[in-house]
Amino acid sequence: MKGNQVTDRSEREKMLAGELYDAMDPELKAGRLRARRLTRRYNQSTEEEDALRLSLLRELVGGMGDFAFIEPPFHCDYGANISLGENFYMNFGGVILDCNTVRIGANVQCGPSVQLLAALHTLSAQERVAGPEFSAPITIGDNVWLGGGVIVCPGVTIGANTTIGAGSVVTRDIPANVFAAGNPCRVIRELE
């Protein structure tokens, strides 16, 4: 300890810093349970309950613009590390593993079964079995369209006005104003 300050960082702080952390930490477990309860209620809501869905989404995520809509079913780790821009739309079956920050710009559209995965595990089987995990943030710029089944991997940034083709696996940054597709995802052409 230094003065009255504790020098040890919480597992949550380590997680958000991209360091190895213990996912079984009580604070992190409580955060995941909170997200499970809220997403269960969201996913069980009906199409006539727009106000309830909006309220639950605002309670779940860390921040969002005036309008955001996610078609149920939807799943996430914590919700609190997700920031949704104005006019965000995610189609059925979306998954956001937000064990690090997931920042999504304005006017972003996601097709069905899109996955934004900030979670990482070590490549060493021995270390992986021991339990610690780590993560990397995801950033998606304004006016991006992610086609159905797109997977965005940890640490990726997608630039504004970009379209990612259906079924793509985005393993590295994609610049603004392009159409990109494939596995691994690569720039196909520039957009005007």
In this predicted model, what pLDDT tens digit does every residue of 117-140 receive, in sequence order?
999 998 989 988 888 999 999 999
* CA 134/CA 70 separation, integer angstroms: 27
Q: Can 75 be counted among the known catalytic residues? A: no
How do the pLDDT tens digits run along the chain, 192 residues long?
444 544 589 999 999 999 999 999 999 999 999 999 999 999 999 999 999 999 999 999 999 998 999 999 999 999 999 999 999 999 999 999 999 999 999 999 999 999 999 999 989 899 888 889 999 999 999 999 999 999 999 999 999 999 999 999 999 999 999 999 999 999 999 998
183 close to 165: Cβ distance less than 8 angstroms: no
pTM attached to this predicted model: 0.94
82 close to 104: Cβ distance less than 8 angstroms: yes
Cis peptide bond prior to 73, omega within 30° of 0: yes
* CA 128/CA 162 separation, integer angstroms: 34
User: pLDDT tens, 175-185?
Assistant: 999 999 999 99
User: What are phi and psi for residue 58, nearest 5 degrees?
Assistant: -65, -35
Please report the domains of the chain, with CATH numbers, ordered by start residue: 11-190 (2.160.10.10)
> Closest Cα partner for 145 from 174, 122, 116, 165?
165
At 86, list the tokens. 């104005």
> Closest Cα partner for 134 from 28, 62, 30?
28
From 36, 41, 121, 186, active-site residue? 121
Q: Looking at residue 86, what is its pLDDT?
A: 97
45 close to 56: Cβ distance less than 8 angstroms: yes
127 in helix, strand or coil? helix
At 182, list the tokens. 């494939």
